[in-house]
Amino acid sequence: MIYNKCYEIFGQCFPELKMDMDTFKELCEIDDCVIFTVKSGDEIIGFSMTKDNEIRLICVAPEYQRKGFGRTLLELAEGAVKDRDKEATAGSPGSRLFIGAPVETAGFFERFGYRLEGTFAEMAGDTAELVQPEYEPRGDVRFEFRAANAEIINAVKEVEDDWAQYFGEGDIFCGVCGDEIASFCIVEENVTCLLSGDGEKVGSIGCVGTVPKFRRRGIGLKMVSLAAEELKKRGCGKIFIHYTHVYDWYAKLGFKPFLKLKMGGKNLE
């Protein structure tokens, strides 16, 4: 019952996200979360959700917002976090739901002492509407899938060392110059994500990088364009780009932000 009500209120707060109940529960990791609720009479009208030291979600039904319920839910959530950690975060990079506080509600967290920085986007692309890069890449470059190997891992580490953990298996789409890996990305053709729930098959393109010495040649943009074409061939109607701050770069291909978030936390001591 409580999960159903949380899902209902979440849908009222974020009507643009069409996910079904099962997707909501999976992305929240709801069975691993602590949930608090507030009521008006006997009716649940808001909830907060924590996992470890993350305040994963706070939602209040629209007609009850700006009446102090959000503050109550935040205090309850912080109390749960404080029992095990001195730092509370608004979301987390590891969350499959919200990695931070939506920019529209970031001010709420900041009023209660959260330090939020940066703006990151979740992006969507309709495969029927994406466009080709304006310029072809410079130099002799070819694009192909390659099995994950040490050469690819070394290229990934040149761009972002933390990403190496995601490249341990499977085929990786690469831009190759001569015998060298110039760029890379992970391509998945069927993901459960914020875009799931309307019946369309959703693909994703992630951990996109270009080795420093090959940058500013148009290689990365062309690679993403070709990866999107491959996902379209595999039956994906939409493509999800997760957790990026270079949303203007992806916009050159027709991807659009549908959610922007800020990240940070608060010391509870």
pLDDT tens track for 176-207: 999 999 999 999 999 999 999 878 999 999 99
What band does 169 get if pLDDT is binned at 50, 70 and 90?
confident
Amino acid, res. 50: T
Residue 175 has pLDDT above 80, yes or no: yes
CA–CA gap between residue 120 and residue 266 (Å, rounded): 19
Averaged pLDDT score across all residues of the chain: 96
Residue 1 has pLDDT above 80, yes or no: no
pLDDT in tens, 120-166: 999 999 999 999 999 999 999 999 999 999 999 999 999 999 999 99
Among candidates 83, 100, 84, 10, which has minimal Cα distance to 48? Answer: 10
- For residues 51-67, give the mean pLDDT: 97
**Which domains, and CATH codes, for the chain?**
2-120+261-267 (3.40.630.30), 130-253 (3.40.630.30)
0.75 cut: is pTM over it?
yes
Residue with tokens 């608004």, as numbered in its chain: 90
